[in-house]
Structure 1
Amino acid sequence: MEQSGVVFGTSGARGLADNMSDMVCFAYTMGYLQHLATLGEFSPHTMVAVAGDLRPSTPRIMGACIAAIKYMGGKPVFCGFVPSPTLCHYAFSLRIPSLMVTGSHIPADRNGIKFNRAQGEFLKDDELAMRDQNIELPEEMFNVNGKLIKPVAFPPVTNIIPSFIARYRDFFGADALSGLCLGVYQHSAVGRDVLTDIVEALGGEAIPLGRSKNFVAVDTEAVRPEDVSLANQWAAQGKFDAILTTDGDSDRPLLADRHGNWLRGDILGILAARFLQAASVTTPISSNTALEKSEFARHTQRTRIGSPFVVAEAAWRKRAAR
């Protein structure tokens, strides 16, 4: 892993796309499945769901992961190009492993793989255990450059989007956004069409904006000057009640008010937690201190940056409260 330049970061394994050769991604997937086998979450014939974002390198990396799943005796379920939360919603409901090929918000020349347990997030302890796995690569499957010699046959796409949209409609109601016109900044987010469909399923009018053929690295925390300018231009039209978008794999939201002022993900987290009447909130140290100042939650906890740290702390708090 260290030699490849592909390493675990805040969420999943990431690196330059050129360094994520077929062999490297195959090896990572083998280590992942071997680790799950020690936990009783993977064995021959186990379904493993696979999806990816819209980066140019994603299809090739997905193919390497699918090849490794087949080699390990698993049954790959190809979910197509869908948001990370859509993949997780499907896989968690079936209690099967899943992996998402995505670099999230980082530039197009990089990519990554987000691994999931059968019932939840892949935590830092899982990453350590995965790195300790001893794997025996079938070197005869690769050429000298680490490329798979034979093309990978992808399974037919399993459409997992309808149930994901229904989740929002069933929770909020079919008229939750009735009478509102929302601009959907699509850029190259993998959930750009799903986001439009969700708005419409909730009774709102969705107007697609800024769709891009090339990958755009939109960060929901460090908003680019270009995106500030775009939001101001769209808001000046005077027809949008809000403008919304996501990062590359559509697991982090970004929302602008009718004046084009972007509300970063950490502010949206506060609003969501208040809506849910959360008694306890766990968030990274980088989040806005307005959380504590708002004083709506009885308990707040700060963690290191990265969703595995947040999930682990929140789970510990939940157990401690019992």
Structure 2
Amino acid sequence: MHARLRPVVKAYDVRGRVPDQLDPAIARALGEAFADEVGISEGRGRAVVGRDMRASSPEVAGAVADGIRARGGDVVEIGLASTDMLYCASGVLDVPGVMVTASHNPAADNGLKLCRAGARPIGLSSGLAAMAEAASPLLDRDPADVPEPTGTLESLEFLQTYADTLLGLAPVEGRRLKVVVDAGNGMAGHTVPAVLGRLDLEVIGLYLELDGTFPNHEANPLDHSTLVDLQAAVREHGADLGLAFDGDADRCFVVDEHGDVVAPSTITALVAARHLLQEPGATILHNVICSRAVPEIVSERGGVPVRTPVGHSLIKAEMARTGAVFGGEHSGHFYFREFYLADSGMLAALHVLAALAETETTVSALMEEYSRYSASGEINSRVDDTDAVLERLSRQYADHHQDRLDGLTVTTDDWWFNVRASNTEPLLRLNVEGADDATMERVRDEVLAVVRA
């Protein structure tokens, strides 16, 4: 891999600072490699390209499109889009796709999320490494050798088709709800009016203006400090619930009527139960850091729970293998078979709204049966040798059940923990769950003492 590509090619996508790490030359070279990888070069097909609201996104998206067209592929531009809108376009049009976004990363960053036709993911082991290898020599060629685009370029307005698709999958009927939505100045500001604006809801918007500088707070609801304004607005307006989206709007977090955060594992269990009503006996995926409540509830409702590693490309592949109808991650990603196996924060939000509108209860009461245990949340520790720490923990808990599906998971009847290495930083990520707060806190502190020794 070219030295310029090593900092930006990640496990699941391309991401880096603009322009010192990711510039138009790299984007164009990767566009050329993408066209070859997905088989649309030399006039054999087309790809869809979307972009988020970052200041660098038009230039990066244009460079990617030029690269695809330089190989003879045709490009369909859908312009401003959430990542799940790009996946929807890839599925509806049955063409490969490139989404230009750095998700919740800082404003100076940008990146590429890639998929084959039908929104099938491209990660490091499923095409991205090959793309980086193919793009590497292109970065050293003489500018005179850079080919001119020959493929066609067309623009397509896709927002309404996206809204139609989601509302058809999760219709919301029943009582009228009051909802506060925090878009964090990200792409939910583009998609929320198109989708929720079609429903009989009272929507109170926070930071719906598209602004890639993120002037109000980071568009990263996994960091609960970014939810403070949403929580306050829910309480101030007496809203039924609040929704927060990340920068590219493929993740959604929920807060209840009190402003308390609803764990994504709880949302996973709720949406899984709704799918099992429609398809008894269906398979439901949950990753290694989801609450133990998820597989318990899936089994109790007659479904088949399947545990997976963390990461969207791995989960989508497992959905295809198992025929799973739904999958959830504790990071706020939710995957739907009917949505081309892709993740959609908006579709998850519609399921929550639909479940609540069908009742006369509150979000906190609705979620109570799906939340059973005490969780630590993800705790990151910077370590010099992640493998050595994992082995030390494995020895420390040698008398307990362990597995290595993703990092190290240690399990007992009363608690479990998972420790796994970051794909991009020298970090270990710890998640602990216990039967009660005291149990969780005891195990958390024990494990952290070993990790940080």
For the aligned pair, the TM-score class normalised by the smaller chain equals: 0.7 to 0.9
Q: CA deviation at 1:48?
A: 1.3
- Does the 8 Å contact 2:183/2:189 carry over to 1? yes
Counterpart Cα distance in 1 of 2:265 and 2:110: 24
- Does the 8 Å contact 1:30/1:135 carry over to 2? no
Question: 1:283–1:7: structure 2 CA closer, same or farther, 3 Å change rule?
Answer: farther
Matching residue of 2:269: 270
Residues 13-49 of structure 1 deviation map (CA, whole Å, 9 limit, x = unaligned): 1122221111111111222211112xxx554162211
Question: 1:205–1:139: structure 2 CA closer, same or farther, 3 Å change rule?
Answer: farther
SS in 1 for 2:236: coil
1:111 aligns with 2:113: no
1:235 aligns with 2:234: yes
SS in 2 for 1:310: helix
Counterpart Cα distance in 1 of 2:254 and 2:71: 42
Structure 2 unaligned residues grouped into runs of 5+:
325-453
Residues 202-259 of structure 1 deviation map (CA, whole Å, 9 limit, x = unaligned): 3222221134533253234x323132x2133112214311111211111111111111
Question: 1:272–1:43: structure 2 CA closer, same or farther, 3 Å change rule?
Answer: farther
1:318 aligns with 2:316: no
Q: CA deviation at 1:134?
A: 6.4
Matching residue of 1:74: 73
SS in 2 for 1:237: helix
SS in 2 for 1:269: helix
- Does the 8 Å contact 2:230/2:244 carry over to 1? no
Q: Residue type matched to 1:193 in 2?
A: H
Tell me the TM-score normalized by structure 2.
0.61
Q: CA deviation at 1:177?
A: 6.0
Counterpart Cα distance in 2 of 1:298 and 1:10: 31
- Does the 8 Å contact 2:103/2:247 carry over to 1? yes
- Does the 8 Å contact 1:172/1:202 carry over to 2? no
Which structure has the higher relative contact order (CA within 8 Å, separation 6+)? 1
Counterpart Cα distance in 1 of 2:135 and 2:194: 44
Q: Residue type matched to 1:313 in 2?
A: E
Matching residue of 2:306: 301
1:21 aligns with 2:23: yes
Matching residue of 1:284: 287
- Does the 8 Å contact 1:177/1:204 carry over to 2? no
Q: Residue type matched to 1:58 in 2?
A: S
Alignment of 1:162-181 (within 5 A): 162-173=160-171, 176=173, 178-181=175-178
Counterpart Cα distance in 1 of 2:75 and 2:132: 22
Q: CA deviation at 1:271?
A: 1.8
CA RMSD, Structure 1 to Structure 2 (Å): 2.8
- The structure with the largest alpha-carbon Rg is 2
Q: Residue type matched to 2:184 in 1?
A: H
Provide runs of 4+ in structure 1 moved above 4 Å. Answer: none
Tell me the TM-score normalized by structure 1.
0.84
How many residues align? The count is 306
**Identity across matched positions, percent:** 20
Structure 1 unaligned residues grouped into runs of 5+:
143-147
Residues 154-173 of structure 1 deviation map (CA, whole Å, 9 limit, x = unaligned): 95642101111112333333
- Does the 8 Å contact 1:184/1:192 carry over to 2? no
Residues 116-155 of structure 1 deviation map (CA, whole Å, 9 limit, x = unaligned): 101222243222433443675363269xxxxx9x9xxx95
Greater mean deviation of Cα atoms: 178-187 or 9-18? 9-18
Counterpart Cα distance in 1 of 2:91 and 2:32: 21
- Does the 8 Å contact 1:99/1:114 carry over to 2? yes
Counterpart Cα distance in 1 of 2:67 and 2:173: 43
Counterpart Cα distance in 2 of 1:211 and 1:22: 28
Residues 168-217 of structure 1 deviation map (CA, whole Å, 9 limit, x = unaligned): 333333x5265111111122221223123312323222221134533253
